[in-house]
Amino acid sequence: MSYTVNCSILLTELPLLERAEAAKAAGFDSVEFWWPFAEAVPAEADVDAFIASIKNAGVQLAGLNFFAGDMPAGDRGLVSWIGRSSEFKDNVSVVAAIGAATGCKAFNALYGNRQDEHTPEEQDELALKNLLAATAGVAPIGGTVLIEPVSGTPAYPLKTAADALSVVNKVKEAGAGNIALLADFYHLSVNGDDVADVIEKHAHEFGHVQIADAPGRGAPGTGNLPLGEWITRSRELGYNGGIALEYKQERETAFNWLIRQNA
């Protein structure tokens, strides 16, 4: 099986523009990134350099997150963030341009942490508008917007597959078909979701899958999740998209579990 390397959590010892090449050298043909710039609309030269690093490495960009704010400081997306919707919409154009240049078709829109000064209804109303703008923005390049339950950030409201699917369904009811659940087996497990049940019910409609073991968000085999079984069952039930490696592990040993598995 060929996996996608998430180069925002793996290979991070290397400068951003060297990571795609390092993934290729480690034997992978596809990579994905969280938003790789500090701002929603970076300098054109920085975007061009990022695209060139993917193309020159000879890998496929298989996934890209929309700008999500200051993630190290705890931000997890702009989608429902009242006061930052023009920034989000400006970002959609840059994301779509990167998709057009690279052939990337999967775009993860982190929903945003709850803001105490606004009601959940107000934030969800904005999220619907922003997600309709995002789905419209990537539709011309055949893109799909992904909605991801995330762990580790208490104020992030989408914790289970059901939470994310209710957002997906609202956007679909509003007329956009190109939106789907990002099933990150690590985040779902840590949040207490029943991952096996989510797979039984929804694998056929997953937009993307990411893996890490739990506890610890390490490589497969470092924790106790049955990741191999879950991947196999997802495939049996019709999921035919990529499986992205989104775990923490130093570069030297990042893919040893795969080498052992293939030996």
Ligand X SMILES: O=C(O)C(=O)CO
Residue whose CB is less far from ligand X, 56 or 185: 185
34 binds ligand X (CB under 6 A): yes
User: Are 173 and 148 contacting, i.e. CB atoms less than 8 angstroms apart?
Assistant: no
Residue whose CB is less far from ligand X, 64 or 231: 64
Residue whose CB is less far from ligand X, 58 or 154: 154
Give the whole-angstrom CA distance, residue 96 versus residue 140.
9
Residue whose CB is less far from ligand X, 130 or 140: 130
At 228, list the tokens. 């191999």
Residue count (the chain): 263
108 binds ligand X (CB under 6 A): yes
Partners of 147 in beta bridges = 181
Amino acid at 33: F
- Residue showing tokens 């909605």: 147
- Residue of 148, 200, 229, 252 with catalytic role: 148
Site string for ligand X, 147-186 (x = CB under 6 A): -x-x---------------------------------x--
225 binds ligand X (CB under 6 A): no
Give the whole-angstrom CA distance, residue 204 versus residue 216.
28
Distance spanning both ends of the chain, measured CA to CA: 14
113 binds ligand X (CB under 6 A): no
Q: Is 87 a catalytic residue?
A: no
Binding site for ligand X (CB under 6 A): 34, 65, 76, 108, 110, 148, 150, 184, 246
